[in-house]
Chain A
Amino acid sequence: MEVFLNHKGLVAPLDLANVDTDQIIPKQFLKRIERTGFGEFAFFDWRYLEPGVPDPNFILNNNRYKGASILVAGRNFGSGSSREHAPWALLDYGFKILIAPSFADIFRTNCFQNGILTISLDKEKVDYLMGMASSPKYTGYQLEVNLENQVIKDQNGFSEKFDIDAFRKESLLKGQDEIGRTLTSEDKINNYESSRIDRW
């Protein structure tokens, strides 16, 4: 996993609640055995009228959001299937940070595993960001995220603290391999196994 550095980037709005992982990456793209190259299939059914023909009504196809690295969405983002292909697709598309009132549990963990920062903010705050990112007055609207201090801000005076588990924060900041870390406690796993009752 890459080290998560402070990030400043263009914000794209996706003003929908309960965006499920079937929408983020439809099932026909789950058959590949690689981790890479899923970005071109992100939001496939919403993004294209037919393969190769972008739907001009889908918000992320708006030129204004080309190169966006921060996605603002409605509550319960990433619900449904556990497919890690969803964060792989978002990351490959270019999103490093997701902001929503809430996220589904498995999706959120999958994001951390891939160095994507998920930020939950109160709905009013998310509505404000959604409004700024959608307003014709603020084309090019950017946010700046400082993970060390857990602060997100824009250039118009918006500044918010956000919560993150200390362990997840450290993992992101160090780009830590979680398996490697666990294996440093291998003696504890060995101990546990020595007293475990065999199930079969």
Chain B
Amino acid sequence: MSKTLFEKIWEPHVIDQIDNDLALIYIDLHLVHEVTSPQAFEGLRINSRTVRKPNLTAATIDHNVPTSDRFNIKDPIAKKQIETLRANCKEFGVPLYDIDNINQGIVHVIGPELGLTQPGMTIVCGDSHTSTHGAFGALAFGIGTSEVEHVLATQSLVQKKPKTMAINVNGDLPFGVTPKDLILSIIKRIGVDGGTGHAIEFRGDVFKKMSMEGRMTVCNMTIEGGGRAGMIAPDEKTFEFVQGKKFSPKGSNLDKLMDIWKDLYTDENAEFDTNIDIDCSNLEPHITWGTNPGQVAGINSSVPDPESYSTPEEKSNAQNALNYMGLEAGQRISDIKLDRVFIGSCTNGRIEDLRAAANIIEGKKIDKNVRAMVVPGSGLVKMMAEKEGLDKIFTESGFEWRDAGCSMCLGMNPDILVPQERCASTSNRNFEGRQGKEGRTHLVSPEMAAAAAIEGHFVDVRNWK
């Protein structure tokens, strides 16, 4: 029988079919960070339970960590949370990539770097952007802390089988248009809850041509369209990426796994519950103007008029967003002036993103009214970038060059916006207050963020010198 990629991963992982919809599935990899795990470890202690498979579990410190002077954490509550993770990892035998380790970084950046993330796996983490790992043809999704405890104790999880959605993208990305622009345009099309209840497979030649980093950017933001998981069928690029890393499979295990991996694609006649067709050949760089990632406009357009929406709900959503963002209907997107620029996050904090941004700014100075910051996604990304001299390009043009972490994507560390500050950000969420109370976030690609830092306002990076 013809099967989708999702079904080829889901079915062999079912340990126990609980009822028609719910199943107990085995979890191949559990990633852990400091914010969503303390209560789970405490639950284990209260019930005298252990971590069933410490070797299928990996922890790091990313959300709270300062990106400068990082060994001196001044916030006592953040410090306690970090120390709690250290103590828990020690007590339960979970490997920890601590701040002093080159492999420390954003949990979704280090999984692939370490070779932990592999095709065909089930991967969970107490973090909604776990969907990132779907770029490797894995079934990866975010869970809450109670579920974190469940996976720690049983290496399995009770899950409702999601429906399947195919997002078929036709055409090639035009010059200067990035995977970030593509996923923003997809979210605009399906809406912030368009993917709810679905595992989404991204299909089309554009993904075959895309780098692994680009695929991760797309799958990362699946959750912003409500998707339970995002995935892309693995190919030669994937198989090459996952080899030669610390945890890459070797010898006969690799041979056995490769046989499985090569069958991880949707069969020709397999059916999806929902199909969406999108053409990307005329796509332009995209920017969010509102307070959710579906409120998106092209660089050459204007802030939309709330009255142009069809339902009262959409009208009021748009009006609320404009009020919060301090924007007016009809204002040109390219006229929006910026105070801050943030390049980093699990969406766009990998080496390819840093190279792309550095390429734009090389030899130029940032606008005098802009404060700009680069936060590499991991210690390894930072090291690679420094080897290539990217840090110099950034600092010479006026960017701050920081240490790895989640940083201003969610502002749990000291990197936050002050009220009314406006930021071009390569991260994933433009929710109210996300980067700081009353801060105003515009989501963009690294290239668009870099050019905006130089000009002090948004520009079309395709015809900008």
Please report A residues at the B interface, Cβ cutoff 8 Å: 16-18, 20, 22-23, 26-28, 30-35, 45, 74-76, 79-84, 87, 102, 104-106, 109-110, 113-114, 165-167, 178-179, 182-183, 185-186, 188-189, 192-193, 196-200
Contact = CB atoms under 8 A, between A and B. Distances in A.
Contact of B144 (A32, A33, A34, A110): A110
A145 B429 CA distance: 35
The 3 A-B pairs with the shortest beta carbon distances in the complex, nearest first, are A113-B146, A110-B144, A33-B38
A33 B317 contact: no
Contact of A105 (B52, B196, B292): B196
Given A76-B193, A114-B146, A189 B77 contact: no
A23 B438 CA distance: 12
17 contacts: A18-B292, A23-B431, A27-B434, A31-B412, A32-B81, A35-B145, A75-B193, A106-B143, A109-B143, A165-B160, A166-B19, A167-B18, A167-B158, A182-B156, A183-B154, A192-B26, A196-B26
Interface in B15-32: 15-16, 18-19, 21-22, 24, 26, 28-29
A98 B64 CA distance: 31
A183 B116 contact: no
Contacts of A185: 15-16, 24
B147 A109 contact: yes
A86 B433 CA distance: 15
Given A20-B292, A74-B313, 6 more contacts: A17-B313, A23-B432, A45-B433, A84-B144, A182-B24, A197-B257
A79 B19 contact: no
A179 B226 contact: no
Contacts of A165: 19, 21-22, 160
Interface string B54-83: 010000000110000000000101101100
Interface residues of B, number: 77
B118 interface: yes
A26 B226 contact: no
B15 A192 contact: yes
A185 B160 CA distance: 18
A79 B15 contact: no
Contacts of B26: 189, 192-193, 196
Nearest to B154: A182
Contact of A104 (B36, B149, B193, B248): B193
A104 B293 CA distance: 15
B196 A200 contact: no
B368 to A, nearest CB: 30
Contacts of A186: 154
Q: Of residues A30, A82, A183, which shows the largest number of chain B Cβ atoms within 10 Å of its Cβ?
A: A82
A197 B118 CA distance: 13
A18 B81 contact: no
B296 interface: no
A79 B253 contact: no
A23 B431 CA distance: 8
A127 to B, nearest CB: 10
B132 interface: no
B126 A82 contact: yes
Q: Of residues B26, B36, B144, which shows the largest number of chain A Cβ atoms within 10 Å of its Cβ?
A: B144
B386 to A, nearest CB: 28
A193 B56 CA distance: 12
A77 B313 CA distance: 14
Interface of B: 15-16, 18-19, 21-22, 24, 26, 28-29, 35-36, 38-39, 42, 47, 49, 52, 55, 63-64, 75, 77-78, 80-81, 84, 115-116, 118, 121, 126-128, 141-147, 149-150, 153-156, 158, 160, 162, 192-193, 196-197, 223, 226, 228, 247-249, 253, 256-257, 260, 292, 313, 317, 320, 410-412, 429, 431-434, 437
B47 A179 contact: yes
Given A113-B144, A182-B154, A199-B257, A18 B192 contact: yes
A17 to B, nearest CB: 5
Given A33-B42, A189-B154, A198 B128 contact: no
Contact of B226 (A17, A30, A105, A167): A105
Contacts of A23: 431-433
B208 to A, nearest CB: 25
Contacts of B47: 179
Nearest to A26: B433
Given A30-B412, A33-B80, A182 B150 contact: yes
Contact of B19 (A34, A75, A167, A188): A167
Given A81-B128, A114-B146, A76 B192 contact: yes
Contacts of A106: 128, 141-144
Given A185-B24, A189-B154, A199-B253, A102 B292 contact: no
A27 B116 contact: no
Contacts of A82: 36, 126-128, 142-144
Q: Of residues B15, B154, B193, which shows the largest number of chain A Cβ atoms within 10 Å of its Cβ?
A: B193
Given A18-B193, A31-B77, A179 B429 contact: no
B146 A31 contact: no
Nearest to A200: B247
Contacts of A104: 193, 196, 226
A185 to B, nearest CB: 5
B35 A200 contact: no
A30 B28 contact: no
